[in-house]
Structure 1
Amino acid sequence: MLTKFQARNIKLPARLRRLSELAYNLWFSWNDSALSLFSRIDPVLWNQYQHNPVRLLTEIDPAVLEKRAQDSGFLKTMDAVLNEYDEYMAASTWFSQQYPQHTRQAIAYFSAEFGFHESLPIYSGGLGVLAGDHCKSASDLGIPLAGIGLLYKKGYFNQKLDGHGAQFAESVSYDFDKLPIIPAYVPAENGAAPGEELYVTVAVADREVRLKVWQVQVGRNPVYLLDADLEVNSPWDRELTAQLYGGNQDTRIAQEILLGVGGVKALRALGLPTGAYHINEGHAAFLAFERIREQLDKGLPFHVALEIIRASTVFTTHTPVPAGHDAFPMAMFDYYFSRLFHDYAQHREAFRQLGYDQGKNAFNMTYLAMNAAALRNGVSKLHGHVSREMFRAFHGDIDVREVPIGHITNGIHLPTWLAPELKELYSRFLPGTWTLNQANPDLWEKINLIPDESLWSVHKSLKEKLVLHARANLREHRRRNSMTAERIEEVREYLNPDALTIGFARRFATYKRANLIFGDLDRLDRLVNDPERPVQFLFAGKAHPADHPGQELIREIYRVSQMDRFRGKVVLLENYDMNLARYLVQGVDVWLNNPRRPYEASGTSGEKAAMNGVINFSVLDGWWEEGYDGTNGWSIEANNEADFETQERENTESIYRVLEEEIVPLYYSESGVPSPWVKRMKRSIVTLAPMYNTDRMVMDYTNVTYVPSLQRTQHFVANEHEEATKVADYKRFIRENWHHVRIVEVNDGGTVQNAEKEVTATVKFGPVWYKDTAVEILYYEERPGGWEPVLVPMEPARELEERTVLYRARIPGHLKHGAHFSVRVHPVSANFIRRFELPLLTSL
Structure 2
Amino acid sequence: MHIRTSKSHIIRGGGGHMKPVRVFAVTPALPPALEPLRSIALNLRWAWTPEAVELFRRLDRDLWEETYHNPVKLLGSVSQARLQEAARDPAFLAHVARAAEDLRASLNAGDTWYARSYAGAGPNIAYFSAEFGITECLSIFAGGLGMLAGDHLKSASDLGLPLRGVGLLYQQGYFRQYLNQSGWQEERYENNDFYNFPVSPCRDSAGAPLTVAVPMAGHEVLAQVWKAQVGRVPLYLLDTNFAGNERSEDRDITDQLYGGDLEMRLRQEILLGIGGYRALTAAGEDVHVFHMNEGHSAFLALEHARALMRRHGLSFAEARSLASAGLIFTTHTPVEAGHDYFPSDLMHRYFAAYAHEMGVSWDEFMGLGRKNPSDHGERFCMTVLALRMAAASNGVSRLHGEVSRKMWAPLWPALPEDEAPIGHVTNGVHFQSWLSLEMNQLYDRYLGPKWREEPGDCDVWKVAERIPGEELWRTHERRRQRLIAYSRKRLQEQLKRRGAPPSDIAAAEEALDSEALTIGFARRFATYKRATLLLKDPDRLARIVNDEKRPVQFIFAGKAHPRDAEGKEFIRRIVATARRPEFRRRIVFLEDYDIAVTRTMVQGCDVWLNNPLRPLEASGTSGMKAAANACLNLSTLDGWWDEAYRAGIGWAIGDRRSYDDPNYQDQLE
What is the alpha-carbon distance in structure 2 between the residues aligned to residue 405 and residue 10 of structure 1? Answer: 54
Residue 357 of structure 1 and its aligned partner are, at CA, apart by 3.9
Whether the 8 Å contact between 1:206 and 1:338 is mirrored in structure 2 is no
Q: Residue 509 of structure 1: which of 504, 526, 534 is its match?
A: 526
Residue 446 of structure 1 and its aligned partner are, at CA, apart by 1.8
Question: 1:272 is matched by which residue type in structure 2?
Answer: E
Which residue of structure 1 lines up, in the alignment, with residue 258 of structure 2?
245
SS of residue in 1 equivalent to 2:130 = coil
Whether the 8 Å contact between 1:240 and 1:254 is mirrored in structure 2 is yes
Which residue of structure 1 lines up, in the alignment, with residue 9 of structure 2?
none
1:590 corresponds to 2:607: yes
Whether the 8 Å contact between 1:381 and 1:622 is mirrored in structure 2 is yes
Whether the 8 Å contact between 1:161 and 1:574 is mirrored in structure 2 is yes
* Aligned structure 1 segments of 4 or more residues deviating by more than 6 angstroms: none
Which residue of structure 2 lines up, in the alignment, with residue 19 of structure 1?
37
Q: What pairs with 1:7-86 in structure 2 (closer than 5 Å)?
A: 11-86=29-104
1:116 corresponds to 2:129: no
Instruction: Tell me which moved more, 75-84 or 641-650.
Output: 641-650
Which residue of structure 2 lines up, in the alignment, with residue 533 of structure 1?
550
What is the alpha-carbon distance in structure 2 between the residues aligned to residue 279 and residue 167 of structure 1? Answer: 32
What is the alpha-carbon distance in structure 1 between the residues aligned to residue 361 and residue 161 of structure 2? Answer: 36
Whether the 8 Å contact between 1:412 and 1:604 is mirrored in structure 2 is yes
1:142 corresponds to 2:155: no
What is the alpha-carbon distance in structure 2 between the residues aligned to residue 262 and residue 33 of structure 1? Answer: 37
What is the alpha-carbon distance in structure 1 between the residues aligned to residue 364 and residue 120 of structure 2? Answer: 36
Question: 2:262 is matched by which residue type in structure 1?
Answer: Q
1:418 corresponds to 2:435: yes
Q: What pairs with 1:732-811 in structure 2 (closer than 5 Å)?
A: none
Which residue of structure 2 lines up, in the alignment, with residue 838 of structure 1?
none
Which residue of structure 1 lines up, in the alignment, with residue 270 of structure 2?
257
Question: 1:227 is matched by which residue type in structure 2?
Answer: D
What is the alpha-carbon distance in structure 1 between the residues aligned to residue 592 and residue 38 of structure 2? Answer: 29
What is the alpha-carbon distance in structure 2 between the residues aligned to residue 10 and residue 265 of structure 1? Answer: 37
Which residue of structure 1 lines up, in the alignment, with residue 636 of structure 2?
619
Whether the 8 Å contact between 1:378 and 1:405 is mirrored in structure 2 is yes
Which residue of structure 2 lines up, in the alignment, with residue 94 of structure 1?
113
Whether the 8 Å contact between 2:328 and 2:390 is mirrored in structure 1 is yes
Which residue of structure 2 lines up, in the alignment, with residue 274 of structure 1?
287
Which residue of structure 1 lines up, in the alignment, with residue 3 of structure 2?
none
Whether the 8 Å contact between 2:450 and 2:460 is mirrored in structure 1 is no
Which residue of structure 1 lines up, in the alignment, with residue 244 of structure 2?
232
Which residue of structure 2 lines up, in the alignment, with residue 133 of structure 1?
151
What is the alpha-carbon distance in structure 1 between the residues aligned to residue 309 and residue 340 of structure 2? Answer: 27
Residue 434 of structure 1 and its aligned partner are, at CA, apart by 2.2
1:486 corresponds to 2:508: no
Q: What pairs with 1:816-835 in structure 2 (closer than 5 Å)?
A: none
1:65–1:651: structure 2 CA closer, same or farther, 3 Å change rule? farther
1:291 corresponds to 2:288: no
1:514–1:346: structure 2 CA closer, same or farther, 3 Å change rule? closer
1:644–1:505: structure 2 CA closer, same or farther, 3 Å change rule? farther
Q: Residue 524 of structure 1: which of 541, 546, 558 is its match?
A: 541
Q: Deviation per CA, 1:142-183: give whole Å up to 9, x if none.
A: 001000000001010000101111111101001111000000
Q: What pairs with 1:304-343 in structure 2 (closer than 5 Å)?
A: 304-343=318-357
Residue 349 of structure 1 and its aligned partner are, at CA, apart by 3.5
Residue 302 of structure 1 and its aligned partner are, at CA, apart by 1.2
1:434–1:645: structure 2 CA closer, same or farther, 3 Å change rule? closer
Q: What pairs with 1:381-530 in structure 2 (closer than 5 Å)?
A: 381-530=398-547
Residue 581 of structure 1 and its aligned partner are, at CA, apart by 0.5
What is the alpha-carbon distance in structure 2 between the residues aligned to residue 330 and residue 580 of structure 1? Answer: 42
Q: Residue 184 of structure 1: which of 199, 202, 214 is its match?
A: 202
What is the alpha-carbon distance in structure 2 between the residues aligned to residue 648 and residue 21 of structure 1? Answer: 53
Residue 289 of structure 1 and its aligned partner are, at CA, apart by 1.6
Whether the 8 Å contact between 1:302 and 1:347 is mirrored in structure 2 is no
What is the alpha-carbon distance in structure 1 between the residues aligned to residue 442 and residue 655 of structure 2? Answer: 38
What is the alpha-carbon distance in structure 1 between the residues aligned to residue 358 and residue 237 of structure 2? Answer: 28
Q: Deviation per CA, 1:112-169: give whole Å up to 9, x if none.
A: 0000001101100100010000000000000010000000010100001011111111
Q: Deviation per CA, 1:162-220: give whole Å up to 9, x if none.
A: 1111111101001111000000122xxxxx22x32200010011121100000000001
Residue 551 of structure 1 and its aligned partner are, at CA, apart by 0.7
1:296–1:349: structure 2 CA closer, same or farther, 3 Å change rule? farther
Residue 402 of structure 1 and its aligned partner are, at CA, apart by 1.2
1:183–1:312: structure 2 CA closer, same or farther, 3 Å change rule? same
Question: 1:281 is matched by which residue type in structure 2?
Answer: E
Q: Residue 155 of structure 1: which of 169, 173, 185 is its match?
A: 173
1:384–1:139: structure 2 CA closer, same or farther, 3 Å change rule? same
Which residue of structure 2 lines up, in the alignment, with residue 736 of structure 1?
none
Residue 356 of structure 1 and its aligned partner are, at CA, apart by 2.2
Residue 342 of structure 1 and its aligned partner are, at CA, apart by 4.4
What is the alpha-carbon distance in structure 2 between the residues aligned to residue 641 and residue 501 of structure 1? Answer: 29
Question: 2:114 is matched by which residue type in structure 1?
Answer: F
Which residue of structure 2 lines up, in the alignment, with residue 213 of structure 1?
225
What is the alpha-carbon distance in structure 1 between the residues aligned to residue 613 and residue 584 of structure 2? Answer: 28
Question: 1:247 is matched by which residue type in structure 2?
Answer: G
Which residue of structure 2 lines up, in the alignment, with residue 728 of structure 1?
none
Structure 2 residues not aligned, in runs of 5+: 1-24
1:176–1:641: structure 2 CA closer, same or farther, 3 Å change rule? closer
Q: Deviation per CA, 1:237-281: give whole Å up to 9, x if none.
A: 111101000000000000000000001100111111101000000
Whether the 8 Å contact between 1:289 and 1:351 is mirrored in structure 2 is no
What is the alpha-carbon distance in structure 1 between the residues aligned to residue 120 and residue 261 of structure 2? Answer: 45
SS of residue in 2 equivalent to 1:124 = coil
Residue 646 of structure 1 and its aligned partner are, at CA, apart by 5.4
Q: What pairs with 1:613-762 in structure 2 (closer than 5 Å)?
A: 613-638=630-655, 640-645=657-662, 647-652=664-669
Residue 432 of structure 1 and its aligned partner are, at CA, apart by 2.6
The TM-score with structure 2 as length reference comes to 0.93
What is the alpha-carbon distance in structure 2 between the residues aligned to residue 209 and residue 649 of structure 1? Answer: 49
What is the alpha-carbon distance in structure 2 between the residues aligned to residue 383 and residue 590 of structure 1? Answer: 24
Whether the 8 Å contact between 1:640 and 1:647 is mirrored in structure 2 is no
What is the alpha-carbon distance in structure 1 between the residues aligned to residue 120 and residue 649 of structure 2? Answer: 41
Whether the 8 Å contact between 1:163 and 1:478 is mirrored in structure 2 is no
What is the alpha-carbon distance in structure 1 between the residues aligned to residue 631 and residue 643 of structure 2? Answer: 18
Question: 2:238 is matched by which residue type in structure 1?
Answer: L
SS of residue in 2 equivalent to 1:274 = coil
Residue 400 of structure 1 and its aligned partner are, at CA, apart by 2.2
Whether the 8 Å contact between 1:16 and 1:69 is mirrored in structure 2 is yes
What is the alpha-carbon distance in structure 2 between the residues aligned to residue 346 and residue 32 of structure 1? Answer: 53
Residue 503 of structure 1 and its aligned partner are, at CA, apart by 0.5
1:203 corresponds to 2:215: yes
1:503–1:391: structure 2 CA closer, same or farther, 3 Å change rule? same
1:434–1:253: structure 2 CA closer, same or farther, 3 Å change rule? same
Question: 1:96 is matched by which residue type in structure 2?
Answer: A
Whether the 8 Å contact between 2:125 and 2:287 is mirrored in structure 1 is yes
Residue 101 of structure 1 and its aligned partner are, at CA, apart by 4.6
Residue 348 of structure 1 and its aligned partner are, at CA, apart by 3.6
What is the alpha-carbon distance in structure 2 between the residues aligned to residue 449 and residue 650 of structure 1? Answer: 41
Whether the 8 Å contact between 1:637 and 1:650 is mirrored in structure 2 is no
1:558 corresponds to 2:578: no
Question: 1:341 is matched by which residue type in structure 2?
Answer: A
Question: 1:163 is matched by which residue type in structure 2?
Answer: Q
Residue 647 of structure 1 and its aligned partner are, at CA, apart by 4.9
Whether the 8 Å contact between 2:529 and 2:613 is mirrored in structure 1 is yes
SS of residue in 1 equivalent to 2:614 = coil
User: Could you say what the CA RMSD is over the residues aligned between the two structures, in angstroms?
Assistant: 1.5
SS of residue in 2 equivalent to 1:290 = helix
SS of residue in 2 equivalent to 1:305 = helix
